[in-house]
Amino acid sequence: MDFSLNEEQQLIVETTRRFVQSEILPLEDHLDPDAGSLDPTDQDRLIAMTKSMGFYGLDIPEEYGGPGLNTTTRALMAIEMSQHRAGLYNPCYGVFGGAGLAQLYEATDDQKERWLYPTLRGEKKGCFALTEPSGGSDPARAIQTRGIKDGGEWVLSGSKLYISGADKADYALIFARTSDDPGRNGVTAFIVDTDTPGFHVRRVVHTLRATHYATELQFDEMRVPEENILGEVNGGFAIANDRLSRQRIPYAAGCIGPAIRAQEMSIDWAKNRETFGSPLAEKQAIQWMVVDNEIDIRHARYCVLEAAQKADSGERFRTEAAMAKLVATEASSRVIDRCIQIHGGIGVTKDLPLERWYRELRIRRVGEGPSEVQRLIMARDILGGSFK
């Protein structure tokens, strides 16, 4: 496959790189190492800049006012946007905006007016509530939240776990079991305002991350109008699955940026740090770690761009997306681990971003489907669907 960048992509990559280096990195020098957000004044200024650059709302389709970038270009930008301390938690601190919940592009006209368009304008925030305490790796069969029809409403009861941003969301896309089918054919998607009686954020779930990102939700006989159903009754898991597949490509790409930056830091450190009378760069052990880093980075980049190009060309890309997610998260984790080792004592301190990247990447090997699930997806495709 040809991974050379066209003129437009080269310009976009260079512009994004300059933006991160000139606007994001200087601000991080004055932030707490675990900060997850910028000062509101700085954030507003940078959002105005990205809007003027035509880079705001990268995932928004062109027909909805977005830049209309293809998957490959968005992946290339994700690699650049994540090359700073908080890059794995909040790439560029949200100043490039977002598309909200991509499933809402398939909503009815009324639903778009109520939730999609306010989200695109930055007036509302949504969250994606799929995972449950009973099991995250097999989300379809794990769903125990129930939806029971009662006249023109549905009554939802149950709970969700590890839901990103629910404590700050205006609405949630909730998946509930609405039939006796124990698998993916009995799940319905509901759009629910978070101020609906019966919707509760039980707690913030603290993790390895520098700042919290997950919540636990509880639904107590929450009444939802039938017009809040997204798509068809019992057709909700197909909506969820589309997001999970497509999101893996930019998710994987964002893991590569910190690995690239860590490798650059380590090369510079090895050339200038002397031990036992000579630079670290002259030690074979260090040389081999740097080489292994380069192999991992190039492998991850290849897998991500292959998946992105297949998605853009309309080919089947499920296997490639799973491989990209698996390779990028695991390879980048190895790179950061070696870079900490190269830096020695300072590598485990908050003076450098390495320790934060190390923690964040450990989570990414679980988020958006753990490595084992990616291997299962690939095995099923490679073996022609005969492997269960």
Q: Which residues are catalytic?
A: 368
Q: Say which amino acid occupies 224.
A: V
Nearest residue to 251 via CA among 320, 332, 324, 309: 324
Asked whether the beta carbons of 326 and 371 are under 8 A apart, the reply is yes
Got the DSSP string for 257-271? HHHHHHHHHHHHHHH
Q: Say which amino acid occupies 92.
A: C
Residues with Cβ within 8 Å of residue 275, at least 6 apart in sequence: 283
CB atoms within 10 A of CB 18: 11
Residue identified by tokens 């489907």 is: 369
Parallel/antiparallel/unpaired status of strands 153-164 and 214-225: antiparallel
Dist. CA 308–CA 319, nearest whole Å: 12
Asked whether the beta carbons of 118 and 193 are under 8 A apart, the reply is no
